[in-house]
Amino acid sequence: MRLKRIDANDDSATATWHGDDAVPFAAVDPFAGNSGASLAWQEAPNRLISDVLALHRVPALLAERLLVAAEAARHRPAAEAHDPLRDLAAALGDCLSFATFSGLWRTGSLALVGPPGVGKTTLAGKLAARARSRRPILVNTDAKRAGATAQLAEFSGVLGVAIGTADDAEALARSLRGRRRRVIIDTSGVNPFDRQAVDVLAGLVRSARAEPVLVLPANVEPDEAVEIVQAFRALPIRRLLATRLDIVRRLGGPLAAASAGDYAIVGGSVTPHFTYGLRPLTPIVLARRLLGAAFDDKHWTTQ
């Protein structure tokens, strides 16, 4: 059974999503020959979840683990029948780690790390806005990039938070000495496949005694996400934040990264505005996003 885009002008195809009794998915019995006899998805919940994971391009090994966990969740004593949302959420909670935004501040300082252009600077502004009552400090470690400095200065002015600049580990260590407030370090984008650049970044993070948090765009390809995770092994990364959740349907990349690095998924950005738009990604929220990407599009059916 595979997801297939259907023609909205095809009455026979669109019958699956029109009418009072319509469901967004019409599973087709693979043993029904050419007749394409309908098989209600409630009678084949694992097929539904399997096709949704395929739509999101979740890597095969992770998808298999999720399907096994979803099957186990469905047979738990307190489980209600025919609830793929609950089953998928339980599977995500069993197979992946999750963390809260408040957990980001265990050391008092966090460093946003990742490749260039993934949205770290805007995310730094969002985190500062979220922690505004704690008087956070925004630190720019990419003073050579004028755009980043100007952007953080704008965030500082609008949010009323302090801003600092340091372009090397020694300067950063001096700038943070004695600071007990929450510190958000916007590091420069690093080519993850440049070993020397990654080592320099790791040294900067150690000097700041900050927790590195990997930032990836939600539309990163799964294979690329895994390679980025492997390239950043020099940093003790434990948590993952996603950007561009507002413009992306498929979430296989962030799931692949979290699984490959054993990272805890925290949340992500759902708007380009820097003063708001951070949302937690809990197992149930993520399950809704995964299922909703298929259910909310009336042009998808399974066949």
Q: How does pLDDT run across 242-293, given as a tens digit for each residue? A: 999 999 989 999 999 999 999 999 999 998 887 778 999 999 999 999 998 8
Q: What is the mean pLDDT of residues 128-143?
A: 80
End-to-end Cα separation, the chain, in angstroms: 5
Q: Identify the DSSP state of 164.
A: E
Q: What is the pLDDT of residue 28?
A: 36
* Percent of the residues in the chain that have a pLDDT greater than 70, as a whole number: 74
Please state which CATH number belongs to domain 98-272.
3.40.50.300
Domain boundaries, the chain: 3-95+296-302, 98-272
- Residue 282's identity, in one-letter code, is T
How many whole angstroms separate alpha carbon 50 and alpha carbon 64? Answer: 8
pTM equals: 0.80
Highest mean pLDDT among 134-143, 174-183, 246-255: 246-255
How many whole angstroms separate alpha carbon 21 and alpha carbon 235? Answer: 52
Q: What is the pLDDT of residue 167?
A: 64
Q: Identify the DSSP state of 46.
A: H
Query: Does residue 211 carry a pLDDT above 80?
Result: yes
Query: Does residue 12 carry a pLDDT above 90?
Result: no
